[in-house]
Amino acid sequence: MIQCARSSDGAAGLAPIALALQSSAPGYGLAWWQDGLTAPDSTSIAFVQDGEGEGILLGETQTIARGDVLVLPPGAELNANGLSGFCVSLPFGTDASHLPGFLRPDQDPAFTDQPGGCAEEESAYRRILLTWDKANGPHVLQALNCHRVRMWDSLSHYHDFQNGFDEFYLVQGVEPDAKIWTGPAAAICAEEVTAVDGLLRPTTPRVGDLIHIPRGTVHRATGGVLAHVITVPGFVPGAEIGVDHHLRRISERLGLPPGTLPYREASSDGPVVR
């Protein structure tokens, strides 16, 4: 099931998630940084969570703040006094030399809103920073993908164990009714479901949460969750498997009152695989 660390907990709070990531995605590392960091002997992707100020990387200085992402080559040093966040180190030998050092979704005109995925409404805030496919955005990286998005009514789905990926929500804003719903895919997709206890559990996210969603875990965000959605490794087509039709089938067969087992109506007519 999911695990959650808070930015205010620092390195100690992050340790269980870092261990889980090492197990499910060997070669990747996860760390907390404050006032800057030095990348290990592999490319690292640093997410700014708290603070606003100067970031100095490879001789370039920019003003950075929550929501920005930095790409550090092996051994590179980031100086960012007064700022902090999380960092994912990529497997040794991952080449990201084609990427810029600073990715600023709200400042760089290269990043525009692209409705789809977990935010399909026409007015969606959804900016793709690192993608698996050039058709989706200007910066391609297969080892890790991320997009910053505000989720109001996302697809209930999971990622396949064998060919899928782990996902993280780095929560950067919440509305009053924000929720993240999670549950075991195997139980939700079972042929015969006779009880709904434990099928879906709501979590009230807080700004600063880093939520690890392992493969095989159904998840959905509702009510206004602003997050960096991070996939490790990068997105794999066909590994995003919708379950809203299963949740609807269970609700109708058991005669549940509306809202007992929440699902996304727009995705509930049949299977959805992306």
Tens digits of residue pLDDT in 99-154 = 999 999 999 999 999 888 888 888 899 999 999 999 989 999 999 999 999 999 99
For 208-235, what is each residue's pLDDT tens digit?
A: 999 999 999 999 999 999 999 999 999 8
Residue 274 lies inside a defined structural domain of this protein: no
> Residues 241, 157: contact at Cβ < 8 Å?
yes
- Asked whether 261 and 245 are in contact (CB, 8 A), the reply is no
- Report if residue 208 sits inside a domain: yes
Across residues 66-72, what is the average pLDDT?
98
Task: Please give the tally of structural domains in the chain.
Answer: 1
Q: Quote the domain boundaries for residue 154.
A: 3-267
Residue 272 included in any domain: no
Q: How far apart are CA 104 and CA 111, in angstroms?
A: 8
CA neighbor of 159 nearest in space, from 243, 217, 232:
217
Summarize pLDDT for 226-270 with one digit per residue, the tens.
999 999 999 888 999 999 999 999 999 999 999 899 999 999 999
pLDDT tens, residue by residue, 14-46: 999 999 999 999 999 999 999 999 999 999 999
Asked whether residue 40 is domain-assigned, the answer is yes
Residue 273 lies in a domain: no
What percent of the chain is modeled with pLDDT above 90?
A: 84
Tell me the mean pLDDT in the region 54-62.
97
pLDDT at residue 87 above 90?
yes
| 236 within a domain of the structure (yes/no) | yes
CATH code (residue 103): 2.60.120.10
Provide mean pLDDT across the span 54-75.
97
Regarding predicted confidence, which is higher, 48 or 192?
A: 48
| Residue 248 falls inside a structural domain | yes
In a domain, residue 188? The reply is yes
Instruction: In whole angstroms, give the CA distance from residue 170 to residue 206.
Output: 10
Q: Is the peptide bond before 262 cis (omega within 30 degrees of 0)?
A: no
